[in-house]
Structure 1
Amino acid sequence: MDAVTRTRVFEPFFTTKEVGKGTGLGLATAYGIVKQAHGHIFIDSELGRRSTFKVYLPRVATGPIGEATPLRAESQGGSETILLVDDDDGVRRMTRELLWQSGYRVLEAADGEEALLLCAREPGAIDMLLTDAIMPVMSGGRYPIA
């Protein structure tokens, strides 16, 4: 990658892909995760050649080996209705399965227009909207749902 791209590669929403092919959040997310872990990420790249990203994370002292202690209490699940909206079939399928296994009723839509149709046809309350933030046609932040 060129020098200008290297300086912007970790910026949220920066992408070199054509419109609709990428959000520019992948490397920004990776950067955020590494920084939250008090690590460093470096790029080695030359124009016309491959790029290498090196991630350095701090060493963590380990405690005694024994029975694992849960970090948080197990989820009790729920019975609420969740409207799940994601244009990625794989992500939507996995999320639906996790929510369903936790006891939730899941309505799913592949895009914003389909979600609005589901809302109009749903006789009961929708307790939560879980949506991808960036999708073609209508993004997650643009739902007129009260």
Structure 2
Amino acid sequence: MSEPAKRVIIHHTAIRSSDTAQDCITQVGRIQKMHMEDRHFDDIGYNFLVGQNGIMYEGRGWGVMGAHSKGHNEDSVGIAFMGNFNNDIPTSEALSAVRRLLRHGISQGYLCSNYAIFGHRDLASTECPGNKLYPEIQCLRSDRD
């Protein structure tokens, strides 16, 4: 992966959201298992995942190429909001956690300060990250500017 990352790609997991840390940990494990067993990835595809409770979960982490957006992984970080955001509204806790992660990435040199941010649907034919999360990406862009 080229570092620092030049792009951030926002996803949703499209599964039931949960507010408890234990449920989120279980879901991260299930996603990792599905990515590795069904899709034959080396690990979970996302660099990070965030629960509706605002807890951030490290997937592949910083500096490791993800497997979240075919053809767009080399210079990007993939962040998945846990839930189905065609149905759910992202919580302020989850959005704040992502803002903190992005600031941390910049301060530690993992993420370019002028990074571009996209919804997965901007780069592929998909509904991801869901109709109720997608408008929040503009707010995340505004935070950076």
TM-score by length of structure 1 reads 0.32
- Structure number with greater CO (CA < 8 Å, separation at least 6) is 2
Larger Rg: 1
